[in-house]
Amino acid sequence: MLSVRFTTPLHLPPNTEPLALTTKFVALGSCFADRIGNRLAANFLSVETNPVGIHYNPISLGRSLEPHPTPQLFAHFGLWRSLDHHGHLTAPSARECGEVLRSAEERLKQALDRAQVMLLTLGTAQVFETVAHRRVVANCHRLPQRLFQRRRLGVQECVGALWPPLTRWLDKDERRRVILTVSPVRYLRDGLVNNNRGKSVLLLTCAELESDHPRIEYFPAFEILLDELRDYRFYADDMVQPSAVAVDYIWQLFCRRYFPSTVEELTRLAQKVRALEAHRPSGQTDLEHLRAKRATLMEKIRTLIPVHE
């Protein structure tokens, strides 16, 4: 029998307080938050994912959690935008853009009010800030490069941006929890060295936040991909994003860490529902058969969690 091991398994500590399948989540932060949020939604769990758009850096992310003042809007490429918001929150006029932003921020407020668990994914410590006011922005919207300068945040800047809104949210309900992750997506614009230095800032930020509050914890998605999986086959073709296989593996470990064993049955049933929904019926009889099978599966899912279609 071979005694050589070709991976370094990451042993997660046992979770003494598993989450119920009825737990309400809000997933915020980088595009990796979207990945995990989409997995929760695909398994019929209650989650609101990035209602005000993706935020990659801790300053912008922390700012999005606070009561937001009226944003400064500007027109560029025929659309009105905000430097504090993602590029998909735009509109043809300033009035419409303001309405889009207010609607998104109301969705976030409602999600935060309902949520029992906040999943917070930090993407990068490399930021753009305006030359005129030295203010970190969430998105440059392809404005001229001369208007911005790049720099790397420090650990205390990141902690200072996140600690106040996180603790205020936690203090409103003693049952609330924050699960921090660092995105394993690589930011290679500044090269591998600066990517790794930036990720180090985020890892230390998570360590400080976790050590300072008993209901803030860290899930090692970053370490799972970079150490346990450590192979380019677990990256997508761009060598930046994790592959679907890698995300599946991280998701399985996330479930094992936080949910009761019944999540495995829920995942199996959800996969069957998605397979049925992807099937193209060949006629009315086939369509009715698919609907009946889906109804049966959904009834089984309802025995595990309340599902609102």
Dihedral (Cα; 211, 251, 64, 147), 10-degree rounding: 100
- One domain for residues 98 and 247: yes
- Residue 3 placed within a domain: no
- One domain for residues 128 and 196: yes
Tell me which of 14 and 8 has the higher pLDDT. 8
Helix boundaries (H) for 6-147: 31-42, 58-64, 94-114
- Residue 1 placed within a domain: no
Q: Tens of pLDDT along 14-47? A: 677 889 999 999 999 998 899 999 999 999 999 9
- One domain for residues 111 and 252: yes
Q: How far apart are CA 65 and CA 85, in angstroms?
A: 12
- One domain for residues 113 and 187: yes
| Position 3 pLDDT exceeds 70 | no
- Residue 13 placed within a domain: no
Using alpha carbons only, what angle is made at residue 52 by residues 46 and 53, rounded to the nearest 5 degrees? 95
- Residue 234 placed within a domain: yes
Mean pLDDT of 124-153: 95
The closest alpha carbon to 155, from 204, 220, 207, belongs to 204
Q: How far apart are CA 294 and CA 272, in angstroms?
A: 8
Burial 82-96 (b: 16+ CB within 10 A, else e): bbbbbeebbbeeeee
- Residue 50 placed within a domain: yes
| Position 214 pLDDT exceeds 50 | yes
- Which of 260, 278, 295 terminates a domain? The answer is 260
- One domain for residues 172 and 73: yes
Q: How far apart are CA 100 and CA 106, in angstroms?
A: 10
- Average predicted confidence (pLDDT) for the chain: 90
pLDDT category at 186 given cuts 50, 70, 90 is confident
pLDDT at 41: 94
Q: How far apart are CA 272 and CA 267, in angstroms?
A: 9
Mean pLDDT of 80-103: 93
CATH of the domain at 96: 3.40.50.1110
- One domain for residues 93 and 213: yes
| 3-state DSSP assignment of residue 124 | coil
Tell me which of 211 and 238 has the higher pLDDT. 211
pLDDT at 110: 96
Listed in sequence order, the residues at least 6 apart from 18 whose beta carbon sits closer than 8 Å to its beta carbon are 258, 259, 260
Question: What's the predicted TM-score (pTM) here?
Answer: 0.90
pLDDT category at 6 given cuts 50, 70, 90 is low
- Residue 240 placed within a domain: yes
Report residue 279 CA to chain centroid gap: 29
- One domain for residues 121 and 152: yes
The closest alpha carbon to 220, from 182, 190, 251, belongs to 182
Of 9-13, 74-78, 150-154, 248-252, the range with the lowest mean pLDDT is 9-13
pLDDT at 229: 86
- One domain for residues 268 and 212: no
Whether 71 and 85 have beta carbons less than 8 Å apart is answered as yes
Q: How far apart are CA 71 and CA 90, in angstroms?
A: 12
Helix boundaries (H) for the chain: 31-42, 58-64, 94-114, 155-171, 191-212, 221-223, 244-258, 262-278, 284-302
What six digits make up the tokens of 131? Answer: 């030359």
- Residue 118 placed within a domain: yes
pLDDT at 74: 93
Note down the domain range covering 79. 24-260
| Position 63 pLDDT exceeds 50 | yes
- One domain for residues 112 and 133: yes
Count of structural domains within the chain: 2
- Which of 240, 260, 280 terminates a domain? The answer is 260
- One domain for residues 36 and 177: yes
- One domain for residues 63 and 94: yes
| Position 309 pLDDT exceeds 70 | no
Element of type H or E holding 3: none
| Position 150 pLDDT exceeds 80 | yes
- One domain for residues 177 and 302: no
- Residue 280 placed within a domain: yes
